[in-house]
Amino acid sequence: MVVDCAKARFGIEVASLTDLGLQRANNEDSYLYWEPEDDSVFPEKGRLGVIADGMGGYEGGQEASRIAVQTVRDIYANSRTPDPKAALYDAFTLAHARIQSHGQEHPELQGMGTTCTALVIIDQELFFGHVGDSRLYLIRKRSVSKLTRDHSYVSRLVESGIVRSEDAETHPQRHILTAALGSGSEIIPDISPKPMALEDEDALILCTDGLWGQITEKELILSVEGASAEQTCLALAKLALDRGGPDNITLQVLRCRFAG
């Protein structure tokens, strides 16, 4: 496994990893980390992390996830709105339209779609948006919070009281999505309603279901204790592979190092 340690400005340590897994013939996941090159733009745009888990067959899934992360980056980076929430909303809705358009232009890719989860860090404030079931976790002082809500059939069953939340992670239908970029006529992404203040040593983990489906929240906590972002990536991916690696595994770890 090779960890991609992005070059980031002071304050954040970033590492990303994607792995085929042990039971798939191709990797349909995509990810990126972006900061503006211009130092004068950085205070306004901050940092952007994106992951996506494609679906729709060998080429369809790969293309959908690639289009999603590139579009989110391009639209966010070039948006003129000073509101990162509005910029994320625009980025997701345009990614949805571009994936649909690409599918229409290439009939062999019909049915292509992707999850997508993105975060923005400006100064020490977090904004995020997502569609699908790729997740964003916050680990802070030996506690973990799942910041995103899965757009899945099982998540609806939990909200309706039909399935207990403790049973949802192992439910056989947990991977059935109710929303994905490129799927359906309209998409309404979940965008964080207000910024969240980050603290020194917080860890943020973006991950596809190939990771979160194989590990526990306690293991997420243990993976960041006394570890670098790179070490956390390797430890979590190894756990998923040791448990069969049934899907592509993609994660991005951002560790807050505000105090230096």
**Average pLDDT estimate for 166-180:** 69
Does residue 80 fall inside a structural domain?
Answer: yes
Decide if 84 contacts 127 (C-beta within 8 A). Answer: yes
pTM of the model: 0.93
Domain count, the chain: 1
- Which sign does the torsion angle of CA 66, 202, 168, 159 carry? negative
**Average pLDDT estimate for 44-60:** 91
Does residue 244 fall inside a structural domain?
Answer: yes
* CA 89 – CA 93 distance, rounded (Å): 6
Decide if 69 contacts 31 (C-beta within 8 A). Answer: yes
3-state secondary structure of 204: strand
Does residue 153 fall inside a structural domain?
Answer: no
Percentage, residues of the chain above pLDDT 70:
90
* CA 210 – CA 19 distance, rounded (Å): 9
CATH number of the domain encompassing residue 106: 3.60.40.10
Does residue 164 fall inside a structural domain?
Answer: no
pLDDT, residue 176, reads 76
pLDDT in tens, 180-189: 999 988 899 9
Amino acid at 167: D
Residue ranges making up the domain that contains 109: 12-147+178-256
Does residue 201 fall inside a structural domain?
Answer: yes
